[in-house]
């Protein structure tokens, strides 16, 4: 299969690879997929409490080139957005940006799921902090 | 050294220039129909076909009359299985074959199941070898055919063919083997190996594509087949159609070269293969070899690189042609069914790479491939959440993964 220029670029120069401190209350972690399915994405974001803006995002992905590119792109897009803006990111936007073929659409779905899971985790932490 | 480098010689092989030389006259001036019995053009082609028939038969210890030319091994597999099923329908309706066979066998068997035949798909042992006791227990008085490939195309494991054939003969069952990967690579003898039918193809032994053969035993037992292609009654009535003289000449020449050079080539390739294997094992942790190394084609290596998905690895080594058992690289989006049948988990099947060395690969290429794989695996493991978790001591099999159940 031929990959798009943008997929190749993200694969060769993945942005924001790494991990944030899971125990930080301002960090949300999302892990989606399964090794048996051939892809696992871990996506983390850190929210600045005074501005409400995502100031950092990191990822690690086990998966094909399109899965790596989708999650790398997601971290790029997350930075500078509010949590609500981040929740509005749709997998179809990732498909368009990376020119993913139909067989790779599930990679973009997984990236959207990872964003939602990370924000869900962040919100849960915030809620439990408020009730504490 | 030129890139891209071809390490996918189980899929196909380049044509040996010596084979091309032998073929060239048969494209233009020697164009006769081998079935034309009454002029020199026909005799010339028939002679060339007979010579090739002998060259091929010699590699497997067969009589030239036992070689039936086809368009390739898929046709040979179809002819053997359907031909026996139809011819021996009154004797029985049961066929036995391992779950790791080539699709040309499995899909043919599935088709027969729709027509009232019963097929037993044998699982394999974890090392990739057939369980002889299980095979023995599966044979019934309705069994007409056992088909077991000589050497597997993904993991290169060589089956105990002689014992399987012996077992079949003791029970009056015919034995077919898909010999595509083994032919010309390791010594094969249809008499000693108790083989009744064997599928062969030219393009895996540095010959042309589009030509193959089926060995069909003529005595002890005499195998009869119902033709699957009707026409002029060529090839002892088993396969009609004008012979592809040019291709057959190339097939014969390719076979003769293999026979002459097998011992030396096999030594050279197993040295290169072992060097590749040893380098990868030395430089990388958590790599696993799929299938036993003890009974294996000299040119095959199949390895899983845990925590690194196969397609992404192929993408990183894009100047090297290899295959992966990852779902993403298959048409069905399922990980390798061969590895699955060995009990390799889906997680490791997704990380598997098949290296297939060939006649034209050099030691310099092996060193380059090893270095590129090592570099890319290390890079992708830096990116892999699974590698990170494993290094933290987390047991990945105990994690509750948030995967869509339908995925």
Partnered with residue B214 across adjacent β-strands are: B68, B199
CB atoms within 10 A of CB B167: 18
For residue B309, the chain A residues in CB contact (below 8 A) are 38-39, 62-64, 67
Lookup result for tokens 């088709």? B111
Per residue in B321-369, pLDDT (tens digit) is 999 988 776 666 688 999 999 999 988 999 999 999 999 999 999 999 9
Would the pLDDT of A49 be above 90? yes
Question: Active site residue: A107, A110, A114, A119, which one?
Answer: A107
Q: Which domain holds residue A50?
A: 5-124
Residue range B20-28: mean pLDDT, rounded: 98
Contact B246, B30 (CB under 8 A): no
Provide the domain count of chain A. Answer: 1
Which of B312, B315, B386 lies at the smallest CB-CB distance from A35?
Answer: B386
CB of A20 within 8 Å of a chain B CB? The answer is no
Which of A60, A65, A67 lies at the smallest CB-CB distance from B388?
Answer: A60
In a domain, A73, yes or no: yes
CB of A58 within 8 Å of a chain B CB? The answer is no
Do A33 and B401 count as a contact with CB atoms less than 8 A apart? Answer: yes
Among the listed residues B129, B386, B21, B89, the one whose alpha carbon sits nearest the alpha carbon of residue A31: B386
Q: Does this complex have an ipTM over 0.95?
A: no
Per residue in B113-164, pLDDT (tens digit) is 999 999 999 999 999 999 999 999 999 999 999 999 999 999 999 999 999 9
Per residue in B271-304, pLDDT (tens digit) is 999 999 999 999 999 999 999 999 999 999 999 9
Do A62 and B315 count as a contact with CB atoms less than 8 A apart? Answer: no
Residue range B5-18: mean pLDDT, rounded: 98
pLDDT at A108: 95
Which of A38, A40, A42 lies at the smallest CB-CB distance from B327?
Answer: A38
B109 classed as catalytic: no
Counting Cβ atoms within 10 Å, is residue B15 exposed (0-12), middle (13-18) or buried (19+)?
middle
pLDDT band of residue A1 (cuts 50, 70, 90) is: low
pLDDT at B334: 80
Would the pLDDT of B406 be above 60? no
In a domain, A130, yes or no: no
In a domain, A65, yes or no: yes
Among the listed residues A94, A42, A53, A46, the one whose alpha carbon sits nearest the alpha carbon of residue A73: A94
* A43: CATH: 3.90.1010.10
**DSSP class of B232:** S
Interface of B to A at Cβ within 8 Å reads: 307-309, 311-312, 315-316, 326-328, 333, 335, 345-347, 350, 382-388, 396, 401-403, 407
CATH 3.40.640.10 for domain B17-257, yes or no, is yes
Per residue in B43-101, pLDDT (tens digit) is 999 999 999 999 999 999 999 999 999 999 999 999 999 999 999 999 999 999 999 99
pLDDT at A7: 96
Give the total residue count for chain A.
132
Q: How far, CA to CA in Å, does B161 sit from each of A56, B124, B176? A: 60, 14, 10
Per residue in A115-130, pLDDT (tens digit) is 999 999 999 999 888 7
Per residue in A68-127, pLDDT (tens digit) is 999 999 999 999 999 999 999 999 999 999 999 998 999 999 999 999 999 999 999 998
Would the pLDDT of B407 be above 50? no
pLDDT at B331: 65
CA distance B363 to B127: 28
**How close does chain A come to B81, measured CA to CA in Å?**
34
In the structure encoding, which two tokens stand for residue B142, read together?
């309705």
Question: Active site residue: A34, A37, A103, A127, which one?
Answer: A37
pLDDT band of residue B401 (cuts 50, 70, 90) is: confident
In a domain, A58, yes or no: yes
User: What mean pLDDT is reported for chain A?
Assistant: 94
- Residue B376's closest chain A neighbor by CA? A12
In a domain, A103, yes or no: yes
In the structure encoding, which two tokens stand for residue B287, read together?
């790599």
For residue A14, the chain B residues in CB contact (below 8 A) are 383
CB of A31 within 8 Å of a chain B CB? The answer is yes
Per residue in B363-392, pLDDT (tens digit) is 999 999 999 999 999 999 999 999 999 999
Residue range B159-176: mean pLDDT, rounded: 98
Q: How far, CA to CA in Å, does B333 sit from each of B11, B180, B192, B268? A: 19, 25, 40, 36
Report the phi/psi class of residue A9: left, alpha or beta, with left for phi > 0 and alpha for psi in -120 to 50: alpha
The CATH class, in words, for B5-9+261-391 is alpha beta
Domain range list for chain B: 5-9+261-391, 17-257
In a domain, A131, yes or no: no
Residues with Cβ within 8 Å of residue A81, at least 6 apart in sequence: A53, A54, A89
CB atoms within 10 A of CB B96: 25
Which of B316, B335, B403 lies at the smallest CB-CB distance from A33?
Answer: B403
CA distance B238 to B233: 7
pLDDT at B284: 98
For residue A41, the chain B residues in CB contact (below 8 A) are 385
Residues with Cβ within 8 Å of residue B102, at least 6 apart in sequence: B73, B77, B149, B153, B178, B180
CA distance B89 to A68: 54
pLDDT band of residue B404 (cuts 50, 70, 90) is: low
CA distance B39 to A21: 86
**How close does chain B come to A42, measured CA to CA in Å?**
6
Peptide linkage before B214 cis (omega within 30 of 0): no
**Backbone φ and ψ of B354, nearest 5°:** -105, 120
In a domain, A129, yes or no: no
């Amino acid at each position: 299969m031929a990959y798009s220029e943008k997929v190749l670029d993200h694969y060769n120069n993945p942005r924001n690879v790494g991990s944030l401190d899971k125990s930080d209350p301002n960090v949300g972690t999302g892990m989606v997929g399964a090794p048996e399915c051939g892809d696992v994405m871990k996506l983390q974001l850190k929210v600045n409490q005074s501005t409400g803006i995502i100031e950092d995002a990191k990822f690690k992905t086990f998966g094909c080139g399109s899965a790596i590119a989708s999650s790398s792109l997601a971290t790029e897009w997350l930075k500078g957005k509010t949590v609500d803006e981040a929740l509005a990111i749709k997998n179809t936007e990732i498909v368009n940006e990376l020119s993913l073929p139909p067989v790779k659409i599930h990679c973009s779905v997984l990236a959207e799921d990872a964003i939602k899971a990370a924000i869900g985790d962040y919100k849960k932490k915030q809620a439990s902090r408020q009730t504490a | 050294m030129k890139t891209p480098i071809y390490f996918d010689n189980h899929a196909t092989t380049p044509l040996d220039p010596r084979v091309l030389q032998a073929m060239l006259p048969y494209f233009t001036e020697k164009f006769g129909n081998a079935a034309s019995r009454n002029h020199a053009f026909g005799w010339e082609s028939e002679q060339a076909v007979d010579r090739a028939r002998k060259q091929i038969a010699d590699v497997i210890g067969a009589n030239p009359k036992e070689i039936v030319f086809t368009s390739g091994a898929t046709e040979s597999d179809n002819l053997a299985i359907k031909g026996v099923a139809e011819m021996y329908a009154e004797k029985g309706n049961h066929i036995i074959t391992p779950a790791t066979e080539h699709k040309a066998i499995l899909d043919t068997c599935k088709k027969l199941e729709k027509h009232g035949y019963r097929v037993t798909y044998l699982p394999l042992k974890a090392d990739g070898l057939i369980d002889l006791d299980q095979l023995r227990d599966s044979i019934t008085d309705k069994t007409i055919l056992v088909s077991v490939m000589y050497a597997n195309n993904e993991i290169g494991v060589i089956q105990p063919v002689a014992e399987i054939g012996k077992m079949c003969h003791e029970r009056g069952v015919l034995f077919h083997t898909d010999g595509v990967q083994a032919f010309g690579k390791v010594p094969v003898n249809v008499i000693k190996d108790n083989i009744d039918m064997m599928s062969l193809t030219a393009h895996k032994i540095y010959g042309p594509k589009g030509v193959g053969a089926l060995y069909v035993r003529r005595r002890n037992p005499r195998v009869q087949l119902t033709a699957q292609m009707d026409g002029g009654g060529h090839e002892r009535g088993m396969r009609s159609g004008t012979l592809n003289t040019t291709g057959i000449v190339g097939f014969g020449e390719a076979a003769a070269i293999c026979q002459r050079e097998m011992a030396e080539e096999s030594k050279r390739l197993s040295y290169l293969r072992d060097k590749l294997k040893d380098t990868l094992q030395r430089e990388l942790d958590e790599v696993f070899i799929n299938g036993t190394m003890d009974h294996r084609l000299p040119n095959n290596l199949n390895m899983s690189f845990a925590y690194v998905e196969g397609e992404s690895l192929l993408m990183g080594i894009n100047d090297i042609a290899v295959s992966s058992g990852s779902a993403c690289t298959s048409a069905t989006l399922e990980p390798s069914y061969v590895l699955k049948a060995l009990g390799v988990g889906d997680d490791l099947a997704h990380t598997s790479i098949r290296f297939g060395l060939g006649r034209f690969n050099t030691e310099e290429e092996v060193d380059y491939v090893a270095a590129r794989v090592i570099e890319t695996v290390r890079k992708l493991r830096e990116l892999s959440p699974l590698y990170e978790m494993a290094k933290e001591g987390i047991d990945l099999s105990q994690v509750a993964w948030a995967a869509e159940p339908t995925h």
